[in-house]
Amino acid sequence: MNICNDKYDMVISNGRVIDPDTELDQVLNLGILDGKVRAISENLLLGDSHIDAIGLVVSPGFIDMHSHGQDNENYRIQALDGVTTALELELGTDDVDLWYQQREGQAVINYGVSIGHIPVRMQVMQDPGEFLPTGDAANRTATDMEILQMKQKISLGLDSGALAVGFGIMYTPKATSAEILEMFNIAGEYKASCHVHLRSQGDPGSIEAINEVIEASIVSEAPLHVVHLQSTGLSVTNRLLKIIGELQDSGLDVTTECYPYSAGMTAIESSSFDDGWQISRGISYGDLEWAATGERLNEESFAKYREMGGMVILHMIPDDAVKESVISPITSIASDGYIKQGVGHPRTAGTYSRVLGRFVRGSNDLTLMQAIRKMSLMPARRLESRVASMANKGRISIGSDADLVLFDPNTVIDESTYREPNTPSNGIKYVLVDGVPVVKSGRIQEGLNPGEPVRSNV
């Protein structure tokens, strides 16, 4: 083998390099310098440090566009699942500058945020809720002045580098379609994508709800991204996939995502549990699991915990809806993850390894190339028209960011459960963020915070 005499900070040798952008799939050596991939070669490369990746897949780091747990408890858990960039694009924030300042120099992985309709509405309407609205922002129609204030705050957030505009319309049921359109109009002016939790679930609610935001997208010319399609569509997920696919074929800029689990999680005190929730979701009290204890609820405990507030797991998504959404060529993968002091949903720790272990190796419903594309390139492409730095993520090419995950395709699998949601995945051997190995031999490396802000400069 020939030897390249150039010297790199890090060399990864003998790995099966998979690049979903060019569909490269070959055993090669990578040279990393100053946080970038600078060599992709069959030749032997020389570096200050070295990883022998024989038997491992070398993939672009996974990009999670829907990660609510934006702190190092969650970042560490997600890094062990191969995530190198975690973005909060559904809920978002009401203060973009402050949000980034609070994480600067303190994150294991890359991070970013949208300006969110929910937190902006909560601020304008002085809602007392902490995570989701519980007062006027959920229960009152906004005045013309309040809508104007929301538009101004969303515009300010986009000027401050927010990646997108986030919406959780299910949690703001009194926000009219006219109000939503006003916010889409601001997004359209900035060519910022709108990441939307639809207003309703199931049949026929989700069909009506997706039509609401499709119309807003068409009128405003704002790109549309529908979050966690399977937990919104439920029994009619296939119909939503068909609608989005047809819209893409017609040239509309609309995308979607899913996570590979048959249960969701949300705040029990939110308006999504107002009267009628059993009908829209097709479940009852016994399908709810109190995340902190694993207790299945009844009418009495539901009332108690709703008064108290906290996270509840909803066992409601049909298995065929999960499979249809995960294997569809139009869906990217996103976790919708959130863990607080060890309590939460296993999707935070296991989403990406679950896809690789169960849908690639387990059932052969996806190829490795297809799965990696869903978890890296597709999220990068969703954002790169507004966020220039995303053009260097989600692929392995000369000059791309050295955000990489090295995993064993024969053993990778999720290990997290509803009772132990922060159990790390198996088979994720190395994770590099900006060329820094934050995971080595399956273990998080202490004291390293190379994560960079992902922010729009448009």
The pLDDT tens digits for 357-376 are 999 999 999 999 999 999 99
pLDDT at 141: 98
Q: Where are the beta strands (DSSP E) in 268-416?
A: 288-290, 311-315, 331-333, 339-340, 343-344, 404-407
Q: Which of the pair, 279 or 194, is modelled with greater confidence?
A: 194
- Four-CA torsion 374, 456, 433, 337, nearest 10 degrees: -50
Instruction: Give residue 141's identity as a one-letter amino acid code.
Output: T
Run of H or E residues at 139 = helix 136-139
Q: How confident is the model at residue 62 (pLDDT cuts 50, 70, 90)?
A: very high
At 311 the three-state DSSP class reads strand
Q: End-to-end CA distance of the chain: give it in Å, rounded.
A: 45
- What is the C-alpha separation between 3 and 13, in angstroms, rounded? 12
- Residue 83 · residue 66 · CB < 8 Å: no
Quick: pLDDT tens for 237-247. Answer: 999 999 999 99
Instruction: Give residue 329's identity as a one-letter amino acid code.
Output: P
Q: How confident is the model at residue 6 (pLDDT cuts 50, 70, 90)?
A: confident
Q: Is 340 exposed, middle or buried (0-12, 13-18, 19+ CB in 10 A)?
A: middle
pLDDT at 458: 67
pLDDT at 100: 98
Nearest to 437 by CA among 428, 425, 450: 450
- What is the C-alpha separation between 11 and 73, in angstroms, rounded? 29
Residue 4 has pLDDT above 80, yes or no: no
Instruction: Please give the DSSP secondary-structure letter assigned to residue 445.
Output: P
pLDDT at 457: 86
pLDDT at 295: 97
- Residue 166 · residue 89 · CB < 8 Å: yes
Q: Is 398 exposed, middle or buried (0-12, 13-18, 19+ CB in 10 A)?
A: exposed
Nearest to 112 by CA among 95, 132, 96: 96
Quick: pLDDT tens for 179-224. Answer: 999 999 999 999 999 999 999 999 999 999 999 999 999 999 999 9
Nearest to 353 by CA among 440, 403, 415: 415
Kindly report the CA angle at 205 between 327 and 271, in degrees rounded to 5?
105
Neighbour tally for 170: CB within 10 Å:
22
Full-model pTM: 0.98
Neighbour tally for 299: CB within 10 Å:
10
Q: Where are the domains of the chain?
A: 3-60+398-444, 62-385
Which fold does the domain 62-385 belong to in CATH? Answer: TIM Barrel (3.20.20)
Quick: pLDDT tens for 287-296. Answer: 999 999 999 9
Kindly report the CA angle at 370 between 368 and 374, in degrees rounded to 5?
115
Q: How confident is the model at residue 5 (pLDDT cuts 50, 70, 90)?
A: low
CA–CA distances in Å: residue 380 to residues 85, 385, 442: 10, 9, 25
Preceding omega of 133 cis (within 30 degrees of 0): no
Which fold does the domain 3-60+398-444 belong to in CATH? Answer: Urease, subunit C; domain 1 (2.30.40)
Half-sphere exposure of 281 (CA within 13 A, CB side): 24
- Tokens standing for 424? 């790390």
Looking at the DSSP assignment, which residues form a beta bridge with residue 436? 433
Kindly report the CA angle at 342 between 336 and 343, in degrees rounded to 5?
60
pLDDT at 2: 64
Neighbour tally for 126: CB within 10 Å:
9
- What is the C-alpha separation between 267 and 132, in angstroms, rounded? 7
Instruction: Please give the DSSP secondary-structure letter assigned to residue 425.
Output: P
Q: Which residue has the tokens 């809602």?
A: 127
- What is the C-alpha separation between 179 and 438, in angstroms, rounded? 43
CA–CA distances in Å: residue 48 to residues 37, 41, 285, 403, 448: 15, 17, 58, 18, 18
